[in-house]
Structure 1
């Protein structure tokens, strides 16, 4: 077991991650599952018209801002591929980080000097 605040390193090396906040375990799983369950991929679809974006937002369950639709999903690449039939002019998939997970779970980022800790556990 190794305790660390280096989340990028943890993400690439850890088999399991335990998030501890104020002495309590609040999450325990693989990095991939933690990111998928607590944050999800962010997919942005750009359209050449607001009417196309309105239809795409309805079809994907996303939120619209002008001609852009944003969707949070467990599988961004799959959603992006399925969304191609809607005719976007741009597609961007942003995968979450463990810092995103930490922020979602604790309400603070490690970079903000939060009181929580992240422990890496290798099985």
Structure 2
């Protein structure tokens, strides 16, 4: 079996509203998949059903070939959720050891302290950790059982730059050993750099699925940025051929277009007052915003 996760026509209804709507998706073993979407899109509900925390109203969810609620399946997965609840009166190393004993083949305590960057905090009370340190503790607990599939829900919120770097280096190393990683994040530059697949959900439905490069090339187009003179207006720029969006930051302008060659020629022909001109591919955030706008406006 090459599939780690299978969703077949999965629907979840809360209070008469579809949080997830006929979602079909397969995630291969050994892949790193970023599940993206605006707030309320259905990401958390989808992950909760994959973990067996909630049951679909209809459809089927399979995790590692079995029911997510089975003990034998739970022993092979780990989850780092947004809320990390620590146990009173336990030190960091005691908390990690407690979770290690839930699993048949746990990672060593020393390894979990190292990959979470908590070696110096191991004798601290878990409740005394900062917000970022508690996120790292949550990662240690999620990784305690050496999981085949690891779920990460907004994993780096509250982490400093050094902690984030260690975290993503660890995730890349885990993926390199064949672990399956599923993550949600609002830091799209992180998803772009670490994921080999991007899945975008909006209104409970799948709206895009591909590699980061595919998502960006199909949706974001290319961007022309420059510093505009005082005479340049939004109306004049909107009249240029192929302009799909305009973003201003002070006098700095970003023009989005599927045909930047034609657009740059038109800008020069019009002799617009502009300097510091750059042409670049649109980023994942640009593609994400375009996808959400397209599906929201329908």
- Output the TM-score relative to the length of structure 2: 0.26
- More helix per residue: 1
- Output the TM-score relative to the length of structure 1: 0.49
Greater relative contact order (CA < 8 Å, ≥ 6 in sequence): 1
Which one has the largest radius of gyration?
Answer: 2
